[in-house]
Amino acid sequence: MLEDETNQLTIDQVRSKRYIERFYSTDMPVLNIGLSDSTFWIKVSLSYPNVAPNIEMLKDWYLEVASTQLDVAELYLPDLDEKYIVQSSDVRTRHKNRSIRHINSVFPITLHLGEEITLFLKLEKSTSMRLPLTLWTPKGFIEKIAIEEFTYGLFYGSMLVLLVYNAFLYFSVRDQSYLYYVLYLGGVTIFELLEVGHGLIHIEEYFGAIDREYIVFIIWEITLASAYFGKIFMSLKETHPNLNSVLNMFLAIAIASFFVSLLFDYKISVNWAASYNSIFMPTYIGVALYLWINGSENAKYFFLAWIANVIGFLIFTGVTYQILPANALTFSATPVGIIVEAITLSFALANRIKNEQAGRIKSDRDTIEYMARYQSVFNNAREGMYEMTIKGRLLHANPSMVDLFGFETLKDLMKSNLAIANTLFEDPNQQFYELLEKGVTSNTLRLQHGNKKTVWVAHKAKIIRGGNGKKATLRELFIILHSKN
């Protein structure tokens, strides 16, 4: 392999003695170049020896550079008079116009029995470049494609089903966690589409080529959607406000980075995104682990789901650095990890809703039991008790209240609505102010019954707030009356 930092070398210069000696050998199954502005030349020697079991006069091969959307991918095949035939298979050529219609750069090669040739590959890519270089027989290439298409068909199909299912749940229950989860699933699917490339061939036919540099913004969208989802899913704001503040700080940086990326070139933007996530993701997973240890069931599911995703990326990284073998199984680790994560989180969301529904049912049952006990106390209390709106309309009263005011029935008492209110509050304006400020007011009343009997009453009123706990929604008053001799 030869690195051309000038991006100016031609095939004749590369073949010259000056440069041919600069090529260096590597036995790496995957050339992990990463981000580079250079052009890379790869020299490959092929031989089809005239020995058994080789008997075919012509042998077809496919040379695959397993990297999608290369800016330049040219194969130089030797021809007569030391000239070279050039084949290209890169973003400059639409997939339908390539010699081999495949998402990767694939070149057909034909060798004669007993022939030895040296060919050159010229490769450039503005985004991250990893170069698994494989020489396939036609049969082996077809089998490899079958495995890939099945794997990625399963991946995209599963992601689409999960995305539609969770979108439906969002519109059904209006839970924001589902919205952010759908945005996360969509971002991850598009990321895989741009990074791995499977599916781009079909999209290109209908929508044209997609600029792969959009992947930077997809990374930030995934980061933001996953963070907001985790905050809501694990109830950070309500249970751990300090940890929530830490994640809010990371989110503010991510939002700013999304827009700042518009001002910088791809290489700077993607390096910053990688650096940011190398700090944010361990922190994010650490928060989930901490909450799990402290008893959060939602955090347990969240942590296990993210670990599955991380394992997938670690396997892929192991392949890149030759720690693990490069094969269809290990290259499929990333999409498989994403699928496992997505399915786990979908079950976790369903479990969360189930638990919340169970909690609401229990709360309703407890409320009903409480109201039954309250109603029993209300009806059988020796003290007079009633409920009244803030405008003075009587809602309920117990039997003792009816007797205390000298009425025969509750219906008779209810007919005297405003008269009762005016009797209970000696100074309505002042006492109303006390209710709003202190929540309680009291005074002593003198009641005159029809039989000329005078009854002195200790009157105490207390605010009962509405369901959301705000004084602005004040609806009812609760009063206890005590007779005095």
What does the block give as tokens for 376?
A: 């029993």
Buried-state track 10-42, b at ≥16 Cβ within 10 A, e below 16: eeeebbeeeeeeeeeeeeeebbebeeeeebbbb
Q: Is the pTM of this model over 0.95?
A: no
Upstream peptide bond of 282 is cis (omega within 30 degrees of 0): no
Per-chain mean pLDDT for the chain = 80
Average pLDDT over residues 316-323: 58
State residue 41's pLDDT score: 92
Positive or negative: CA dihedral 99, 104, 105, 111: negative
Angle at CA of residue 320, ends 305 and 162, nearest 5°: 30
pLDDT tens-digit map of 72-94: 999 998 887 778 889 999 888 88
Average pLDDT over residues 275-303: 86
State residue 478's pLDDT score: 45
**Which part of the chain has CATH 2.60.40.2380?**
2-136
Pick the CATH number of 2-136 from 3.40.50.920, 3.40.30.10, 2.60.40.2380, 2.40.50.140: 2.60.40.2380
Phi-psi region of 380 (alpha: psi -120 to 50; beta: other; left: phi over 0): alpha
Residues 39, 9: Cα–Cα separation, whole Å: 9
Residues 104, 121: Cα–Cα separation, whole Å: 14
**Which part of the chain has CATH 1.20.1070?**
141-361
Average pLDDT over residues 206-215: 69
Least confident of 207-216, 221-230, 454-463, 465-474: 465-474
Least confident of 16-25, 101-110, 380-389: 380-389
At the fourth CATH level, which superfamily is domain 382-484? PAS domain (3.30.450.20)
**What percent of the chain shows pLDDT beyond 70?**
86
Half-sphere exposure (Cβ direction) of 328: Cα atoms closer than 13 Å: 12
State residue 439's pLDDT score: 80
**Which part of the chain has CATH 3.30.450.20?**
382-484
Nearest Cα neighbor of 30 from 134, 141, 130, 136 is 130
Least confident of 84-88, 103-107, 125-129: 125-129
State residue 476's pLDDT score: 41
Higher pLDDT, 299 or 266: 299
Predicted confidence band at 1 (pLDDT cuts at 50, 70, 90)? confident
pLDDT tens-digit map of 400-428: 888 878 788 888 888 877 677 788 888 88
- 317 burial class (0-12, 13-18, 19+ CB within 10 angstroms)? middle
State residue 122's pLDDT score: 93
Asked if residue 177 has pLDDT above 60, the reply is: yes
What does the block give as tokens for 224?
A: 């933001």
**Inter-residue contact 71 to 90 (CB < 8 Å):** yes
Least confident of 103-112, 284-293, 452-461: 452-461
Number of neighbours of residue 301 by Cβ within 10 angstroms = 21
State residue 397's pLDDT score: 84
Least confident of 254-258, 415-419, 473-477: 473-477
Average pLDDT over residues 196-207: 70
Average pLDDT over residues 332-340: 78
Confirm or reject CATH 1.25.40 for domain 141-361, answering yes or no: no
